[in-house]
Structure 1
């Protein structure tokens, strides 16, 4: 018998996490779970603690209290690269591409950690190394095709538009073969049509078995793509639930959406 997303054991548990910088509380008692195969969005006003939460989850910041577990493994004390090896990858608010390398080379860099070729094979260009290189290039082209950039593979990443560079960042993250992908404002700088293409990409990625945690300010997009939404304000969780419940939640409307934004998001969802 299959297990529904709502019944599945969480892939990520954020368990009563707090982050304090001196006398400033960035996050206070944050707790939520992400279930395998879902798209969960973390939203809130600027300064609400969303990126701080991402930094804690991915090992860039140590929590003052609480614990984060990924697939049952406590992440306390693990470096970001070790967390990535566990299957949890992220993108950043700012594009983080290798600007002076081609788009294809960017993805190959992401694939490099998976390489199993031995040093002696590489030095002498032995058949096993050549076969591994061909396989890596095929995989990289497949990832670029997925994100819609295969036709730009040989162009310098730094020459791409801002929106396309964000897609390169997603491709880099996917190259690590994650079980879960954390996306920090991925459609920032994209126009409406680019955003819709990205929504379809998220659904395709999820259909391939990757769980997604999303931080985003584009509320129509969030309402359209999310299975559940977690809302932060001043570092505290103020609401959690499906888009329809969040859209109608008085505390969320007051703290973040505003009546006009909530109405616009509702209209967008109705026409989606």
Structure 2
């Protein structure tokens, strides 16, 4: 499969601190790939480079063959690359439905794909009613997609943290992305909510959207990923399918250190590889 996203020897430095060193990997069209690593490994920094919130010190990111160098986040979104954030902000006193409507109005005013004419232009042309109906239908469809239809008229601030994150996913999907980057999507979710979210990820992929995740929930990562890319101290230390990553000695050491459990796991992995 052809690459939809290519991270080409990206480096990020903050003064004398190297946050990312020579990161390089591809994501193929239709894949679900997870970017993992211990705290401080550089995962969110990598996401910020891919989506234009941070400029790399070296290298570049290409999306659908187009270099993203110098592009602003909203320009990257228009190309079809959307993201969520670790912390989802909602308007707590507005309903869940109105939160999504506010997001859709903002994206419409910015000319996001699939949203239709900007509301101000529609008003000038006497088409505000039709535009508003389209936005409401879109909001209803998005809430249904992420499983929040039953909570649509509740105040967003009353939702559990995991459900508030789903509002952020709905807004990212509203841009009709070809690829979606999810930054710690199941953070704050219980086991049941995580299982529901895994199904949502698969449904998103079934609709033709490629996914790249940053996530600390390793059982979830192992279950949902086609491939896993592992960072440690800003460096790529492993890449491959879940079964290979699960037993990779470098990955075990990165997560568990040099303790006896890590050495034993690494030894067992090596024995299994040579069996």
Is 2:243 aligned against 1:244? yes
The aligned counterpart of 1:216 is: 215
Give, in whole Å, the separation in 2 of the partners of 1:130 and 1:168.
25
Q: Does 1:28 align with 2:29?
A: no
Aligned match of 1:167: 166
Q: Within 2, Cα distance between the matches of 1:84 and 1:177?
A: 9
Give ranges in structure 1 of 5+ residues lacking alignment: 1-7, 264-272
Matches within 5 A, 1:178-189: 178-189=177-188
SS at match of 1:94: coil
2:95 maps to 1:102 = yes
Contact 1:15 1:30 in 2 (8 A): yes
Q: How many residues align?
A: 253
1:120 CA drift (Å): 5.5
1:111 is aligned to 104
2:13 alignment partner, SS class: strand
The answer to whether the aligner puts 1:40 opposite 2:30 as a matched pair is no
CA 1:184–1:131 in structure 2 vs 1: closer, same or farther (change >3 Å)? Answer: same
Q: Contact 1:19–1:64 (CA<8 Å) still a contact in 2?
A: yes
> Please, which moves more after superposition, 224-233 or 73-82?
73-82
Quick check: 1:106–1:172 contact (8 Å CA) kept in 2?
no
Provide the residue aligned with 2:232 in structure 1.
233
Question: What is the aligned-residue RMSD (CA, Å)?
Answer: 1.8
Which residue in 2 is equivalent to 1:139?
Answer: 138
1:122 corresponds to: 123
List structure 1 segments (4+ residues) > 6 angstroms apart after TM superposition: none
Distance 1:97 1:37 in 2: 30
Output the CA distance in 2 between the equivalents of 1:250 and 1:197: 31
Offset at 1:158?
A: 2.0
- CA positional deviation for 1:123: 4.9
Equivalent position of 2:273 in the other structure: none
Structure 1 residue 17: Cα displacement: 0.1
